[in-house]
Amino acid sequence: MENKYDYEYDKFREAGKASFEALTYAKELVKPGKKLIDTANELEKFMKDKGFGLAFPVNISINENAAHYTPTVNDESVFTNNDLVKIDLGARKDTYLQDCAVTIDLSGKYANFVDTAQKALQEAISSVKAGRKVCEIGAAVEKVVKGAGLKPIENLGGHGISEEDLHADIFIPNYDNGDDTALEEGQVVALEPFVTNGAGHVIEGEHLQIYQKLGNVNARSEDTRRISEFIDKNYSTYPFAVRWLVNAFGSEFKVRRGLNELAALGALESFPVLVEKGKGIVAQAEASVIVQKDGCEVLTK
């Protein structure tokens, strides 16, 4: 493929396949009574055992939680038969990241949400090609979602994926936001419709378990310096979970204190849980693709 992007596409493909296999495995794991923490650990182990890194911690967001819930180290919560469960994950091959998600309905009540998110994703995939404006993809998603009597979430959407960067330059809305930025041949993007019966907007909640290191700083405390070096060595600038650090350092208090110091120094980006503003139920579907001249290649398959 001739294009301006200088990617090793086979690494994207390998990571995409492993990510999709993990999503398929998630459908077996997610059952009423199962602990969220066990599910996250098993999915992360699944990708690591295949020889991949993690693009970010496995997200398990339920009902009105739209994204960015990952369990704490001692998380006692279990899936129930009232849950609409979003599993969002990605494998990493060297610097090549992937991102995909599926929604699992344990309640039997939310088939319309799951089907609509999936149909909207298929519509977005069909719409992708070089030169396509992102607002046109958004319009296609919006039409499917509103046609099903639901709302798209307006402040969540798809994004570019470049080497080492899960959220690169381009934003792909889930409604017609008028942005006429065009997709480019060879670009890798994630498409991710979110649908809800709530306000159509997410806000930040309390639960904060995912961070990303931004740069180097001189922390005063010895503990914080050790934590900082551990993050650099093991997670580089990829998002990580607090529970990973607690497993390595033993003390949640020590880890929290270190992360607070790094955050105060401006060395961390934080990703709190994103909650539907009207407490609506949320479903999501996500795939990563390579933009081609006349269409796209789905990577997470």
Please state at what angle helix 252-264 crosses helix 222-235, rounded to 10 degrees: 90
Q: In this chain, which of 14, 83, 88, 276 binds Mn ion, going by CB under 5 A? A: 88
Residue among 7 and 271 whose Cβ is closer to Mn ion: 271
17 token code pair = 């396949």
Strand positions, DSSP E, the chain: 53-54, 59-62, 65-67, 84-89, 91-93, 96-97, 100-105, 151-152, 158-162, 165-172, 188-191, 194-196, 202-213, 240-241, 268-276, 282-284, 287-291, 296-298
**99 a catalytic residue:** yes
- Of 83, 88, 176, 261, the catalytic one is 88
* 201 catalytic residue (yes or no): no
Amino acid code (one letter) for 193: P
Whether 142 is catalytic is no
Catalytic residue among 42, 165, 167, 297: 167
Encoded one letter per residue, x for contact with Mn ion by CB under 5 A and - for no contact, window 94-113 reads: -----x-x------------
Q: Is the torsion defined by CA of 43, 233, 208, 158 positive or negative?
A: negative
**Active-site residue 192, yes or no?**
yes
| Least spacing, CB of residue 190 vs Mn ion, in Å | 4
The least distance separating Mn ion from the CB of residue 67, rounded to whole angstroms, comes to 7
Please report how close the Cβ of residue 221 comes to Mn ion at its closest, in angstroms.
34
Nearer Cβ to Mn ion (88/105)? 88
Q: Is the dihedral of CA 182, 183, 186, 187 positive or negative?
A: positive
Cβ distance to Mn ion smaller for residue 105 or 286: 286
**Footprint (CB under 5 A) of Mn ion, residues 189-208:** 190, 192
Sign of CA dihedral 245, 246, 248, 250: positive
CA dist 60 and 66 (Å) reads: 9
Whether 286 is catalytic: yes
> Which segment (18-26, 76-84, 176-184, 278-286) binds Mn ion by CB under 5 A?
278-286
Q: Which is nearer to Mn ion, 57 or 198 (CB)?
A: 57
Distances (CA, A) of 91 to 97, 244, 286: 6, 16, 14
Is the Cβ of residue 245 or residue 274 nearer to Mn ion in the bound state? 274
Binding site for Mn ion (CB under 5 A): 88, 99, 101, 190, 192, 286
**Which residues are marked as active site?**
88, 99, 159, 167, 192, 286
